[in-house]
Amino acid sequence: MREYEAVIGMEVHVESKTNSKMFCSCINGRGLETQPNINICPICTGHPGTLPVPNKQALVKLARFGQALQCSIADYTWFERKSYFYPDLPKGYQITQYERPLCYDGQIEIMTSKGPKHIRITRIHMEEDTGKLSHINGKTVVDYNRAGLPLMELVTEPDIRNAEEAKIFCEELQLILRYLDISDGDMDKGQMRCEVNISLREKGTETFGTKVEIKNLNSFRVVEQAIEYEIIRQTEVLERGESVIQETRGWDDGKAITFSQRKKENAHDYRYFVEPDIPPFKTADIIIEAASITAELPIAKRKRFLGEYQLASQQVEILVRNKALADYFEQTVSELKAWMISESKEFTPEEHTKLVKLSANYLLTELIKHYGEKGLTFDNSPITAENYAEFIKIVFSGEVSSTGAQTLLLQMIETGSDPSDIVESQGLKQVSDTNALQGIVDKVIAENPKVVLDYQNGNENVIQFLVGQVMRHSKGSANPQVAKQLLHDTIIQNK
């Protein structure tokens, strides 16, 4: 069997998070409308005699998206009409951009399991969304609430080579959109829709094969699955000596297969021409306004977190993918830094690192788990970052044992109280004082004569059981190291 390589280009549509629709003053309800056809007007339903007015906020957001993807931004541009008939398109044409997209020639760096990879962005242009058809009981109904929403279309060069790259590419786009507040990019709400163009070629050859376009991929998982399926299907076609047909295919989620939908139209079928109702326009003020939207991009955050905090890359990834969580972590660290400066003692670099690592570890294992179970988020955290930093100080200084720390954290979530108060009121303070622990140790030894004998006969492992008993009797407050030493000393003395 010959070996094939996949060549993949993506087309991604994104609904922009603006106040109003693209060419009229209907609000941008982003699908939050409770009834069909309530958020419409003569412009977005294409009545004769109405005039579209471009939404500057949408163009600024598009330009910002382009800047984030290192695109050139056209200094002068215009809209075009793309004519076709479909019931979800009341005007009989879509206002879009064709000859001169606002953004072009960009690139994005993604981090794959095989290292960083650059994907070139061909263009990102501005257009308007269509209405939505629903097929109910053999009838088709149309809802124009979505008609005229600002929609951005991004096209990549065919630089992607496998399903993993395609998925990570889409995930990274979504993150950038969210970081810059351009769109929520929720795929299940249709705010971000991905189409895959995929062909195969024999490994080592340059020329591209015939491509197939796959539409209606509404999750990252499905993008990945459809590509994997299509690679197998096209390989089989080629191995049979047949050729791949250029067509549009859909995704059947139930069967997990792609299926033929239609042969692709050529561009000239759309009869693009310049939209006569919107004069061409200069973009200088759009570009300046876009550039004034400052936000750290995910890739910069990733690099900074790796360097500044020396966290593991998996930890960094969890933080980068959840902006509220990352902000929470950084607030905690800055609280801890302020505390270290205010203390009279000097902290060593190792102690700095230890505090940061403790913050990340408890946050990304314990707190994330509890919040997930209780449906809590870090935008609205019951534990303030200040209190969480206080908790880390308590753990760092050994004031509570690790068992005590778990109890403390849960109490903090329940009550939102100050951790020092909880330590006090719940008696969680770790007891390292041997005098204070001796009573419990004596009791545990008296209660477990067989285990003690085992230990005296050289079975050292059983000490862990006895330490556990001391922890239990002390309600988790005993310092386990001190307890272990004290048990050992007491047993040996009694021998």
Tell me the closest approach of the beta carbon of residue 243 to ligand ADP, in angstroms: 13
Closer Cβ to ligand ADP, 197 or 315, answer by number: 197
Tell me the closest approach of the beta carbon of residue 417 to ligand ADP, in angstroms: 55
What does 7 interact with, of Zn ion, ligand ADP, none (CB < 5 to 8 A by kind)? ligand ADP
Closer Cβ to ligand ADP, 44 or 198, answer by number: 198
Amino acid at 431: V
Tell me the closest approach of the beta carbon of residue 108 to ligand ADP, in angstroms: 13
What does 12 interact with, of ligand ADP, Zn ion, none (CB < 5 to 8 A by kind)? none
What does 198 interact with, of Zn ion, ligand ADP, none (CB < 5 to 8 A by kind)? ligand ADP
- Among the listed ranges 20-28, 306-314, 453-461, 464-472, the one in contact with Zn ion (CB under 5 A) is 20-28
What does 401 interact with, of Zn ion, ligand ADP, none (CB < 5 to 8 A by kind)? none
Closer Cβ to Zn ion, 149 or 355, answer by number: 149
Tell me the closest approach of the beta carbon of residue 199 to ligand ADP, in angstroms: 3
Selection from 143, 119, 121, 123 nearest residue 131 by Cα:
143
Q: What is the CA radius of gyration of the chain?
A: 31
Tell me the closest approach of the beta carbon of residue 39 to Zn ion, in angstroms: 7
Helix, strand, or coil here: 25? coil
What does 26 interact with, of Zn ion, ligand ADP, none (CB < 5 to 8 A by kind)? Zn ion
Tell me the closest approach of the beta carbon of residue 270 to Zn ion, in angstroms: 23
Closer Cβ to ligand ADP, 155 or 295, answer by number: 155
58 forms part of the interface with Zn ion (CB under 5 A)? no
H/E stretch holding 315: helix 313-320
CA dist 411 and 449 (Å) reads: 36
Mode of pairing for the β-strands spanning 212-217 and 248-252: parallel
Provide the 10 A C-beta neighbour count for residue 474. Answer: 24
CA dist 325 and 201 (Å) reads: 43
Tell me the closest approach of the beta carbon of residue 142 to Zn ion, in angstroms: 15
Amino acid at 203: K
CA dist 454 and 220 (Å) reads: 57
From candidates 36, 41, 257, 376, binder to Zn ion by CB under 5 A: 41
Q: Using CB atoms, what's the residue nearest to ligand ADP? A: 9
CA dist 321 and 302 (Å) reads: 10
168 forms part of the interface with Zn ion (CB under 5 A)? no
24 forms part of the interface with Zn ion (CB under 5 A)? yes
From candidates 44, 180, 194, 463, binder to Zn ion by CB under 5 A: 44
Q: What distance separates the 2 farthest-apart alpha carbons in the chain? A: 103
Selection from 43, 10, 33 nearest residue 132 by Cα:
33
What does 24 interact with, of Zn ion, ligand ADP, none (CB < 5 to 8 A by kind)? Zn ion
- Among the listed ranges 41-49, 252-260, 269-277, 430-438, the one in contact with Zn ion (CB under 5 A) is 41-49
CA–CA–CA angle 454, 457, 463 (5° rounding)? 45
Assign 3-class secondary structure to 435-488: HHHHHHHHHHHHHCHHHHHHHHCCCHHHHHHHHHHHHHHCCCCECHHHHHHHHH
Tell me the closest approach of the beta carbon of residue 227 to ligand ADP, in angstroms: 11
Chain-centroid distance, C-alpha 148: 27
Please list the residues that pair with 495 across neighbouring strands: none
Tell me the closest approach of the beta carbon of residue 45 to Zn ion, in angstroms: 7
What does 90 interact with, of ligand ADP, Zn ion, none (CB < 5 to 8 A by kind)? none
95 forms part of the interface with Zn ion (CB under 5 A)? no
CA dist 425 and 470 (Å) reads: 21
Question: In the 8-state DSSP scheme, what is residue 366?
Answer: I
Please list the residues that pair with 308 across neighbouring strands: none
- Going from the C-alpha of 400 to that of each of 172, 202, 408, the distances in angstroms are 40, 63, 9
Closer Cβ to ligand ADP, 159 or 390, answer by number: 159
CA dist 327 and 313 (Å) reads: 17
409 forms part of the interface with Zn ion (CB under 5 A)? no
Q: List the beta strands (DSSP E) in 129-230.
A: 132-136, 139-143, 150-156, 192-202, 212-217
- Among the listed ranges 19-27, 135-143, 427-435, 456-464, the one in contact with Zn ion (CB under 5 A) is 19-27
Closer Cβ to ligand ADP, 264 or 484, answer by number: 264
Tell me the closest approach of the beta carbon of residue 235 to ligand ADP, in angstroms: 14
Tell me the closest approach of the beta carbon of residue 103 to Zn ion, in angstroms: 25
Interface residues with ligand ADP (CB under 6 A) are 7-11, 155-158, 197-199, 208, 211, 264
From candidates 14, 22, 26, 383, binder to Zn ion by CB under 5 A: 26
Closer Cβ to Zn ion, 147 or 166, answer by number: 147
Phi (first) and psi of residue 492, to 5 degrees:
-65, -40
What does the block give as tokens for 59?
A: 């163009």
Q: Which residues bind Zn ion (CB under 5 A)?
A: 24, 26, 41, 43-44
